[in-house]
Structure 1
Amino acid sequence: MMAAKSKYQYWVIIPAFNEAKTLSVVLEKLNKSRVAYVVVDDGSSDATFEIAKKYTTHALQHKINLGKGAALKTGCEYAFTRLNADGVIFFDADDQHEVAEIALFEHALQEHDVVFGVRSFDEHMPLIRIMLNRVASFFLMVLFGTYIPDIPSGFKALSKKAYKKVSWNSTDYAVEMEIAARVAKAKLDFVTVPITTIYHELDRGMTFIDTLRILLRALSWRISL
């Protein structure tokens, strides 16, 4: 495990839905780096779960597709209750993230409750993605008084303490915004770390309509959280 020199135990949580094309590549890299991880197959119709079982004994499965937020929660509950984790790191199954950068999150978790991965807003990031990210960050700042530069990024980490305070209700991709809102509302200590992201041709990022729906939900969280 990458954090072997640390007194803390961190587990990587990988939500996966129909990721058979990339999952084996990701898990091969994680195994070579000796990273401890849990894969949660979110009701895939392809071979995602079968692939996960070939690489780890910590492969969980939803019988039906419940959404990314639900898959992350299943993984967190398993890591904290069954594996005695001190913290969890969220890592996408589509081979967009660098395995070597997991160490940045492990190190930061030793000093902070929450760690947000922040991508470079350069020419490699689609313009629409940059615009939607800016809008999400602006809304969070207006509603909760906290600025987080890359809310939609799936590469983030939570301590056990933080998870208890931000445990979310969103089952879909709104989970990213809800976590940020709950972190802000609870005034948890967070830090950002720079990350590398590879954008694939079949990238399934949020659309403008998805973002609009999530921002409308954020308005309700301002009252209910």
Structure 2
Amino acid sequence: MADPITNADVWLVVPVFNEGQVIRGVAAKARETFPNIVCVDDGSSDNSAEEIRAAGVHLVRHPVNLGQGAAIQTGVEYARKQPGARFFVTFDADGQHQVDDVSAMVARLRTEPVDIIVGTRFAEGRSESVPVLRRMALRTIVFLSPRTRRLGLSDAHNGLRVFNKKVADDLDLLMSGMSHASEFIALIDHHKWRVAEQPVTILYTEYSRAKGQSLINGVNIVADGLFHTRMRK
């Protein structure tokens, strides 16, 4: 069994699309704590691939843009084949996610009887840092998803997730775009994975805010997810 201090049994999966401005710094900082990182360059038209290589992490490339869901699936499939891989993390490329939060979530997964831990922005007063429009969109998504409420989740579209190999081996995301978040929830319900939430801090910079989802886009995402995941009931 790998030494928990080295995190040699943890793999970060980072979907990347035109993040050349920030990805080297994000990956390099995460690598200080988690040595195993695979970035999936999802058909970027900028210098993302070169910056990923410069960060010294694993690189997998899609020849064309397939969407975040497909990039996560590719990254998990790559990571789960690596010797000693036990824990897996979906981690954003734009610098919003915090390595300290990942460490806390991995520590819980090592000791608690859960299969997957999902980050939440809506705990301990942390929602105040979430832009108002995005907060409305996220709350609307939860309101429209009975499955999410049944599982006791408050932030289903949080991209920071930590899960064990049982989840990784069974993960089969079919929705290539942003609607994969709704599908992730459907898979948790379908496979009866034991799920918990973890309060996390999302760092909203001018760079990341410019890429955010509007309220209408958020509603469209969950509607698409509810429609396409009926097959998993």
Q: 2:139 aligns with which of 134, 138, 162?
A: 134
Report what 2:181 is aligned to: 176
Question: Which residue of 109, 123, 129 maps to 1:124?
Answer: 129
TM-superposed CA distance for 1:7, in Å, is: 8.8
Residue 197 (structure 2) pairs with residue 192 (structure 1) = yes
How far apart, CA to CA, are the structure 1 residues paired with 2:229 and 2:74? Answer: 25
What is the CA-CA distance between 1:3 and the residue it aligns to?
6.2
Question: Shift in Å at residue 104 of structure 1?
Answer: 1.3
Number of positions where the alignment pairs a residue of Structure 1 with one of Structure 2 = 224
Say whether the 8 Å CA contact 1:89–1:105 is kept in structure 2: no
Structure 2 unaligned blocks of 5 or more: none
Distance 1:7 1:28, change over 3 A: closer
Q: Secondary structure at the match of 2:129?
A: coil
1:218 partner letter: G
Question: In structure 2, what is the Cα distance between the partners aligned to 1:72 and 1:6?
Answer: 24
- 1:75-224 → structure 2 map (5 Å cutoff): 75-110=75-110, 111=112, 112-120=114-122, 121-141=126-146, 145-202=150-207, 203=209, 204-221=211-228, 223-224=230-231
Distance 1:143 1:9, change over 3 A: closer
Partner of 2:51: 51
What residue number does 2:24 align with? Answer: 24
Are 2:147 and 2:185, in contact at CA under 8 Å, matched by a contact in 1? no
Matches of 1:32 and 1:216, distance apart in 2: 39
> Deviation per CA, 1:154-193, whole angstroms, max 9, x where unpaired?
1111212123344211111111111012212322111111
Give the aligned residue type for 1:168. Answer: L
Q: If the length of structure 2 is used for normalisation, what is the TM-score?
A: 0.86
Tell me the alpha carbon deviations over residues 72-130 of structure 1, each in whole angstroms, 9 at most, x when there is no partner: 01100000123442121011110111122221121122232111011245332111211
The alpha-carbon distance between structure 1 residues 83 and 43, as it changes in their structure 2 partners (threshold 3 A), is farther
CA contact (8 A) 2:12 2:91 kept: yes
Is the partner of 1:21 in helix, strand or coil? coil
Decide whether aligned partners of structure 1 residues 137 and 18 sit closer, same or farther in structure 2, where only a CA change above 3 A counts: same
RMSD, matched Cα: 2.3
Report the residue type matching 1:45 in the other structure: S
1:148 shift after superposition: 1.1
Q: 2:221 is aligned with what amino acid?
A: I
The CA distance in 1 between the partners of 2:214 and 2:37, in whole Å, is 29
Gaps of 5+ in 1: none
- Judged with a 3 Å threshold, the aligned counterparts in structure 2 of structure 1 residues 34 and 72 are, in CA distance, closer, same or farther, namely closer
Residue number in structure 1 paired with 2:9: 9
CA distance in 1, matches of 2:76, 2:147: 29
How far apart in 1 are the matches of 2:7 and 2:101? 19
Counterparts of 2:149 and 2:73 in 1: how far apart (Å)? 23
User: Per-residue displacement from partner, 1:6-32 (whole Å, max 9, x unpaired)?
Assistant: 898110111111111111211221233
8 A Cα contact 2:12 2:37, kept in partner:
yes
